[in-house]
Amino acid sequence: MKSLSYLAKRYKTDKLGVHNYIPIYESFLKVFKNKKIKLLEIGIGGYDHKNKGGSSIKMWSDYFSNGKIFGIDIYNKKFLNSKRIKTFCGSQNDIFFLKKILKNTGKLDFIIDDGSHINNHVIKTFIHLFPFLKEGGYYFIEDIQTSYMLEFGGDGFYLKNKNTSINFFKEIIDKINHQEIENPFYKKNYFDSNITEIHFYHNLVVVKKKSNLEKSNIMVNNSRIIESKKYKIKSLFQYVKYLLFYIRSRIFSFLDLLKI
């Protein structure tokens, strides 16, 4: 059985050597190696050269011998198409294009974003594609260092800039713990209920799709449980306190916008 590292060297993908992603990928994916998976990779490589690129697409096809591999690139890479590989030409920033792709692929086991690395593209793509992952699937975001690079819409000066990819994914940590957030005004979204893990590595983020149903042992509806004979009085004081903290949070949010 050929390891992912062996195949990465064979096909000369920059996921090994230039980057150190392969050992991380293998730690997550080895248990799926012989299963009938569906993997989508954004960014095929080779730029506008007609018959170049596809190193990692070929690697994934060999590694998942029973899987189907899909690739997206802004340049036509149909020379890679085969029985188990299918490529699509278009931009990850085009939601209509992505919807068309998903009609062809159906739900996916793994998604890898190795595309433009432009911050708003990365965020927009994740928001749209993540719901189409199967339960137990993984979403990988490569080259997250562009979060700190101005050329890609990143910000290496104000590291709390919420428009960067890295800060978007940092906020998912809160969503994993949404049941524990003491804030009755907190509004859950799809990601709160469907992410149980997020892993940060050097230039790589990994997110797991799984129903996040674990309850809090000290919160009910994002409020502390009140156990007292004076329940009505205490609940009133609690609500006033929550309201004041909510107003404070809105002020802080406004100040953050001014910083950007």
**Nearest CA among 58, 46, 54, 59 for reference residue 6:** 59
Q: What distance in Å separates the CA atoms of residue 91 and residue 75, rounded to the nearest whole number?
A: 9
State which H helix or E strand residue 96 sits in: helix 95-105
Packing angle, helices 119-129 and 165-176, rounded to 10: 40
- Residues annotated as part of the active site: 117
Question: What are residue 44's phi and psi, to 5 degrees?
Answer: -100, -30
Q: What distance in Å separates the CA atoms of residue 119 and residue 168, rounded to the nearest whole number?
A: 10
**Nearest CA among 84, 78, 158, 149 for reference residue 116:** 149
161 contacts 167 by C-beta, under 8 angstroms: yes
**Nearest CA among 61, 66, 53 for reference residue 7:** 61
